[in-house]
Amino acid sequence: MSGRVLARDRDRGQVTIEFLGMTPTIIVTLVVLWQLVLVGYTYTLAGNAADEAVRAATAAEYDRGGKCREAGLSKLSDAWRAGARVECATEDGYVTSDVTLDVPLLFPGTVSVPIPVRGHAGAVEEAN
């Protein structure tokens, strides 16, 4: 029996080798999925910030642009606030807000992807 190799002994260690070969693919897949989560979350934040900004602008009696910008940035964490741009406009009693955020690359607060994410909201001015 010492000279013969059993069939089950020939495959010993095969699973380990296959797993090591697949590890880079698994890691790259997880990194891509995480980046997609960050893109989706940034879209959510941009939309929410635009809603907050337009809501504050419609209720403001004075300094509408300042209140709009302040409200748009108030709910954002530092990682997204750093590159955020909030713009508000009023035309014929209709207030609009546009918020542009940068998508972080893998970790919020570090390098950003050069793809801007925009959120837009609009509302009718409140009557006093």
Reported as a single tens digit per residue, the pLDDT across 9-65 is: 666 777 788 888 888 999 999 999 999 999 999 999 999 999 888 888 887 766 777
Q: What are the backbone dihedrals phi and psi of residue 76, each rounded to the nearest 5 degrees, phi first?
A: -90, 140
> Residue with structure tokens 């897949």?
29
Of 86, 12, 4, nearest in space to 45 by CA: 86
Q: What is the pTM of this model?
A: 0.77
The residue ranges of every structural domain in the chain are 7-124
